[in-house]
Chains A and B, each alone.
Chain A
Amino acid sequence: MESAKRIIESYNGRKLRVMEVCGTHTHEIFRLGIRRILPPQIELISGPGCPVCVTPAGYIDEAVMLALEHGAVICTFGDLIRVPGSEMSLAGARSQGAAVKTVYSPLDAVDFARENPDKQVVFLAVGFETTVPAACLAVKKAAAEGLSNFSILGANKTMPNAYKALKGSADAFLYPGHVNAITGTAVCEDLVKLGVSGVVAGFTADEILTALAVIIRLSASGEPFFRNCYPRVVRPEGSPAALKLMDTVMEPCDAEWRGLGVIPMSGLKLRPAFAAYDARLKFSLPPVAGRSNPACRCGEVLQGKCKSTDCNLFGTACTPLHPVGACMVSNEGACSAYYQYGDILNEQ
């Protein structure tokens, strides 16, 4: 760790913009105070890799509708509970009598559905490639058991086309290690051919500092590069079993990213064979166009076009207790991290 730290602290080369695309990286980087040991030439940009942050307001509206109008029990990761929808968050819906249950795993939602056959249970399937296999396992399990009271509200996303959309936002990506544990590293190797550099990074202090040091060293040549700095978890081929499972249960689709708009083929939805587990079809949900606050600049923040502190709402109308944008509500969001960890001496 010390040698990596020395390389980072003593860097005095050209300006280097590094985008961490994973929300857990954002969170850990702030928690560990890594920004405070960076020389001014290194800028860390928090990218769109927090599933909560890129989930559009309309998705929350759909979940609220399922809970309040269809009486479904919503099972969700805790991350989504406070995200504002157009009218209210799931926490707000709960105070109006909605059944909202926090779960650790989508498989727990299946267990809950089995134990409560008189209730319709909907799991909110958000997350990237790391989380998708868990949702697919849940659907397969429900199908195998013939459960007719379980379905998912899908908003799963995949990273490859997002990287392409973000090309040019940074000099190098800190790739999300746990996504690569599933997908493997071929996608990153391919990006090198497009001139996109990056390293796969783990999540401990040691691993994040090492990955940054590697970026510094490999940037020196000026050539695009890729390096797997998390080989203890990430194999080049990823997880063939997980990829096969995902391909069996889901298929690619266009997806709306909050702040970034629609990115072609950057989402996943259930294949027709599993349509019975799609909550949108099951409950005949109407198309929902969510409304977010027009002054919110989360979209630009996610693309590295502005800092959280450049937004007029930041810290005034928008705080972690009263979030306006998704980047403030998620613990992993850039705005929340800036707000909670950024301001030691009122330095904004």
Chain B
Amino acid sequence: MNNNEFVTLAHGAGGRQTAELIDRVFKAHFSNPDFTGDDAAVLPVDAGKIAFTTDGFIVSPFEFPGGNIGKLSICGTVNDLACMGAKPLYLSCAFVIEEGFPLAKLEEIAAAMKKTADEAGVRIVAGDTKVAGKGQVDHVFITTTGVGQLTEGVRTSGAFAKPGDAVIVTGDVGRHGCTILLARNEFEIDADVTSDCAPLWGTVKSMLDASHDIHVIRDATRGGVGTVLYEIADQSKVGIRLNSADVPVAPEVRGVCGMLGLEPLYLACEGRLVVFAPKSEAPAILDALRKGPYSASAAIIGEVVADHPGKVVMTTEIGAQSLLPQPGGELLPRIC
């Protein structure tokens, strides 16, 4: 495929050129026994329960240090399934592509999806392609839908956090949000930060192998870890105490945040889980996490309390208590 081939409206018209695009890009990369080209994939169902979820992905720029929208679209759905303790099995993906998008870039995106899906142990079994006119979408949007097999004896939910639980984060926070901020180059800041974007079924599996007594697993995406903490405090009607010194943040991310007056806890992650489990289980879980490729810097950052339900209270560097502000609205740099 040469560099001056582009997606055209004809590629989305459903005729020969659509078939050509599917053959050249998607079939070439996604090929597996369950990806048949029929109207729907026909899949075996095991006994037990399945988890089922969907997510849409738009990101500007569509390529960034540490990944691209393709990798992101697999990780997002795989991680949502993993958070329920479900082994991801099958994914579908729907593309909306802007007219004029380079085919070579589309191939890179498909290759990243295939690689990430393989790592997560999931098969892409169905798809759809639409082409929108120039300016109607920002390069390419992807929606993925996934099903996974629930692990027996495991039941996690945002409503299950209990006083006495330890709050664990599986790595340093805010990398993805910081990476995207820098990649847009609006503020002309340069820092060696790559997205944490990663498929986390392996990470969840290692925790479940260490303990089935895990109450909540949630992936921190938009709004970051701070948003997840407020969601859980609200859903479980508990209070959360956080120790600010224990929250892992890469120095570069801290530097960028310092420059722009931002709080790392509200920057998006795409490869970080927030885990709530009884304190007695925490050491084994942490031990398992620290051996994993995406969770070497996992840390206990706080605990669940019965006091101040719905609120997240932080112990600050002077040893005083302060409310973690509720995230909301768009993140705006604070300068003057």
Direct contact of A and B (CB under 8 A): yes
| Residues in A lying within 8 Å of B, measured CB to CB | 1, 5, 30-34, 36-37, 51-52, 77-79, 81-82, 91, 101-104, 108, 126-127, 131, 205, 209, 320-321, 331-332, 340-345
In the bound assembly, the distance between CA atoms of A104 and B187 in angstroms comes to: 6
B326 touches A340 (CB 8 A): yes
Residues on the B chain within 8 Å of A321, using CB: 328-329
Q: Which residues of B contact A91 (CB under 8 A)?
A: 330
Inter-chain contacts of B188 with A (CB < 8 A): 104, 108
Q: Which residue of A lies closest to B187 (CB)?
A: A104
Other than the known A32-B316, A33-B318, A104-B188, what 13 A-B pairs have Cβ atoms closer than 8 Å?
A: A31-B316, A32-B320, A52-B336, A78-B333, A78-B334, A78-B335, A79-B332, A102-B333, A108-B188, A126-B336, A341-B323, A344-B308, A344-B321
Q: In the assembly, what is the distance between CA of A33 and CA of B330, in Å? A: 25
- Residues on B with beta carbons closer than 8 Å to the beta carbon of A331: 261, 334
Interchain CA distance A331-B322 in the complex, whole Å:
16
Residue B189 at the A interface, CB < 8 A?
A: yes
Using CB atoms, name the residue of chain B closest to A31.
B322
> With an 8 A cutoff between CB atoms, is B39 at the interface?
no
- Complex CA gap A108/B260 in Å reads 14
Q: Which of A30, A77, A131 has the most CB of B within 10 A?
A: A77
Q: Chain B's nearest CB lies how many Å from the CB of A261?
A: 22
Give Cα A127–Cα B336 distance, bound, in whole angstroms.
Answer: 6
B305 to chain A, nearest CB (A): 12
What are 30 residue pairs bridging A and B, where the CB atoms are less than 8 Å apart in the complex?
A30-B322, A32-B316, A32-B320, A34-B318, A37-B318, A77-B333, A77-B335, A78-B260, A78-B333, A78-B334, A79-B332, A79-B334, A79-B336, A102-B186, A102-B332, A102-B333, A104-B187, A104-B189, A104-B333, A108-B188, A205-B317, A209-B318, A321-B328, A340-B325, A343-B323, A344-B308, A344-B313, A344-B321, A345-B307, A345-B308
Give the docked Cα–Cα distance between A126 and B186 (Å).
Answer: 20
Does B259 lie at the interface of the complex (its beta carbon under 8 Å from any beta carbon of A)?
yes
Task: List residues of chain B with CB within 8 A of the CB of A81.
Answer: 330, 332
A33-B322, A344-B311 known; A82 and B333 CB under 8 Å?
no
A103 to B333, CA, bound (A): 9
Task: Flag if B325 contacts A33 (CB, 8 Å).
Answer: no
Q: Which of A52, A82, A320, A344 is within 8 Å of B323, CB to CB?
A: A344
CA distance A341 to B326 in the complex (A): 9
A320 neighbours in B (Cβ, 8 Å): 326, 328-329
Q: Which residues of B contact A209 (CB under 8 A)?
A: 318
Of B187, B308, B332, B336, the most chain A CB neighbours within 10 A belong to B336
Q: Given the complex, which residues of B lie within 8 Å of A79, measured CB to CB?
A: 332-336
Q: Is the CB of B336 within 8 A of A341?
A: no
Chain B's nearest CB lies how many Å from the CB of A294?
Answer: 25
- If A344-B311, A345-B307 touch, whether A32 touches B322 (CB-CB below 8 Å) is yes
CB distance from B172 to the nearest CB of A (A): 20
- Size category of the binding interface on chain B: 20 to 34
Given contacts A78-B334, A344-B311, is CB(A36)–CB(B261) below 8 Å? no
A41 to chain B, nearest CB (A): 18
CB of B320 within 8 A of CB of A37, answer: yes
Chain B residues whose C-beta falls within 8 Å of the C-beta of A1 in the assembled complex:
318
- Could you mark each residue 258-295 of chain B with 1 if its beta carbon is under 8 Å from any beta carbon of chain A, else 0? 01110000000000000000000000000000000000
Q: Are B329 and A82 in contact (CB under 8 A)?
A: yes
Complex: A242 Cα to B260 Cα, angstroms: 23
* Interchain CA distance A205-B317 in the complex, whole Å: 8
B67 to chain A, nearest CB (A): 25
Residue of A nearest to B320 (CB): A33
Chain A, Cβ-Cβ closest to B336: A127
Q: Specify which of A36, A77, A103 is in contact with B321 (CB 8 Å cutoff).
A: A36
Q: Provide the bound-state CA to CA distance between A331 and B313, in Å.
A: 18
Most buried by B among A33, A37, A102, A103: A33
| Min C-beta distance of B226 to chain A, whole Å | 12
Which A residues are in CB contact (< 8 Å) with B308?
344-345
Q: Distance in Å from the Cβ of B334 to the closest Cβ of chain A?
A: 5
Cβ contacts under 8 Å, B335 to chain A: 77-79, 104, 131
Task: Chain A residues near B333: list those with CB within 8 A.
Answer: 77-79, 102, 104
Provide the residues of chain A in CB contact with B259, threshold 8 Å.
Answer: 104
Which B residues are in CB contact (< 8 Å) with A30?
A: 322
**Shortest Cβ distance from A131 into chain B, in angstroms?**
5
A34-B336 CB under 8 A given contacts A104-B259, A104-B260, A344-B311: no
Distance between A98 CB and nearest chain B CB, rounded to angstroms:
15
The 5 closest A-B pairs by CB, nearest first: A33-B320, A78-B332, A33-B322, A340-B325, A78-B333
Whether A341 pairs with B325 at a CB distance below 8 angstroms is: yes
A338 to B28, CA, bound (A): 57
Contact B317 A32 (CB under 8 A): yes
Q: In the complex the two chains form, is B322's CB within 8 Å of A36's CB?
A: yes
CA distance A34 to B308 in the complex (A): 20
Q: Which residue of chain B is the closest to A343 with respect to CB atoms?
A: B323
What's the least CB distance linking B92 to chain A, in Å?
A: 33
The answer to whether A332 and B329 have CB atoms under 8 Å apart is: no
A347 CB to nearest chain B CB (Å): 10
The answer to whether B328 and A36 have CB atoms under 8 Å apart is no
Distance to closest chain A CB from B177 (angstroms): 15
Chain B hits for A126, CB < 8 A: 336
Question: Given known contacts A104-B187, A205-B317, is B336 in contact with A340 (CB within 8 Å)?
Answer: no
Closest chain A residue to B326, Cβ basis: A340
Contacts of A34 in B (CB 8 A): 318, 320
Least Cβ–Cβ distance between B287 and chain A, in angstroms: 33
How distant is B132 from chain A, measured CB to nearest CB, in Å?
20
